[in-house]
Structure 1
């Protein structure tokens, strides 16, 4: 099987341009359902690069996309970063794909995917929720908010960026080279490095990220209406998703499977990508996808 390099694409949704990458897998046999990977708040599509490569190597087309206000996608002119805005964007992207995808969403991306799949049963072939549930833990949310808001004024160097990531996630091995960080930060004219997302994403609205991007009643109702195969992946060291939160989701989506990635925190794919990708493919094989 030959795996092609990703090709960039753009989708116009309303007055925004959303940008992403597509990996095409070439191989014999019937085409597998494509995968659409949605990153978490404050991340970019590049947080999925290793996962995308792993899925493509197994014969699956993969799309990654920068959500509004993140990465190379446009920032919202009206600073609208509420749940409905993200869901509306996803609804605009889906018709441009090669078929109903397996939606794999982490944190904010998972919330968006859950709402979309629950409110339109034809939107997805399957749903994978990565360390996100309707009832998240406040302690973990507070840590996310502190990590995001403590650095809106940028960093003097890439070493400072790496220090911040290490402070948030001390269990993750520090990379030997800092070049990969350039995909998630940008150097501006003042010489400082800034996260590659709109600061209004965290500053606008009331409440905490990701709580302010959610509507728990709407999400719970969407979860009750999810009919496609569903996998809930939990980081074993996550402080965002608890046992109680997973059990609540199992009550809302009785057919859902669960998988624990014991060595991972909230950023599951980045912490243990090999185990994470294997868990997804095993689930999709069992689901006939």
Structure 2
């Protein structure tokens, strides 16, 4: 069955890296990260999850479960000729990346504030933040553009995602909001999120990174991730929110490359991943 997942590609001479965004988002959510990775030599793919961005909704037998979403990504990788790429995921995309790490379908997994580790009493916070953004997205586009031009509004509207939401550009704020409005995959994943628990093991080198000011999936959930994934590398990201790729893209790239290098033979320096001139 052919993959219908939409993606962007920055060709590079090094190993392939696939970037997977979170619920209601789109591949552009990675901001500067794809270009920064490509500048370091990597072959970079950023995908739109099914029912998000420009990817259509899945049709049977595909669906929105973590297993099905992971299988759809595996088919995309196969169609692109990618043999076990490195995968990077944020939030919902982090849960998908961990599913791929569980089956060994990828070489490494680097996940930022992955879903699947929150206790039940955190659900009201998660639901309130996601629903506020979702229902707010239905305001007329002209209203969004007018409000997004105000730094105070960007701080209020995106505070659950970023530590510094006022630095989001007006165009990105509007486009992200309209994308959230159109994302047919939002509601199926929102419903599944109430019972999502990642309790599996991982078969490949895995890094779990958490922003210390995450207001959506709270930093305390990182302790649960440490307990359930004792073999993974766990990292705290200072001055970063739920989507650290916006707050500190260079730090995110450094964490990704460190994770990738843990899978590389120590005696063979990987040229992809060196800084230019390094």
Q: TM-score, normalised by structure 1?
A: 0.76
Q: Tell me the distance in 2 between the aligned counterparts of 1:180 and 1:244.
A: 29
Residue in 1 that maps onto 2:267: none
Residue pair 2:63, 2:69 contacting (<8 A) in 1 also: no
Q: What is aligned with 1:39?
A: 21
Q: CA deviation at 1:115?
A: 1.5
2:215 counterpart (234, 239, 242): 239
In proportion to residue count, which structure has more strand?
Answer: 1
Q: Distance in 1 between matches of 2:71 and 2:181?
A: 19
Count of aligned positions: 253
> Once structures 1 and 2 are overlaid, which stretch shifts more, 168-177 or 274-283?
168-177
The runs of 5 or more residues in structure 2 that have no matched partner are: 265-269, 271-278
Cα distance in 1 between the residues matched to 2:206 and 2:9: 23
Q: Quick check: 1:148–1:202 contact (8 Å CA) kept in 2? A: no
RMSD over aligned Cα atoms: 2.9
Higher helix share: 2
Structure 1: gaps (5+ residues): 1-10, 186-193
Shift of 1:82: 3.5
The residue number in structure 1 matching 2:136 is: 151
Q: Following TM superposition, where does structure 1 have runs of at least 4 consecutive aligned residues deviating by more than 6 angstroms? A: none
User: 5 Å matches for 1:1-289?
Assistant: 12-13=2-3, 17-26=4-13, 31=14, 33-76=15-58, 80-97=63-80, 98-118=82-102, 120-121=103-104, 123-136=105-118, 137-157=122-142, 158-161=145-148, 165-170=154-159, 171-175=163-167, 177-181=169-173, 183-184=175-176, 194-196=178-180, 198-204=182-188, 208=190, 211-212=193-194, 215-216=196-197, 219-221=198-200, 224=201, 226-242=202-218, 244-288=220-264
Q: CA offsets per residue over residues 73-123 of structure 1, 9 Å max, x none? A: 1134689534344223222212134321111010111111111221x22x1
Q: Report the Cα distance in structure 2 between the residues aligned to 1:211 and 1:176, rounded to whole angstroms.
A: 27
Q: CA deviation at 1:282?
A: 2.6
Q: Give the C-alpha shift of residue 182 in structure 1.
A: 5.8
- Secondary structure of 2:6 counterpart: strand
TM-score (norm: length of structure 2)? 0.78
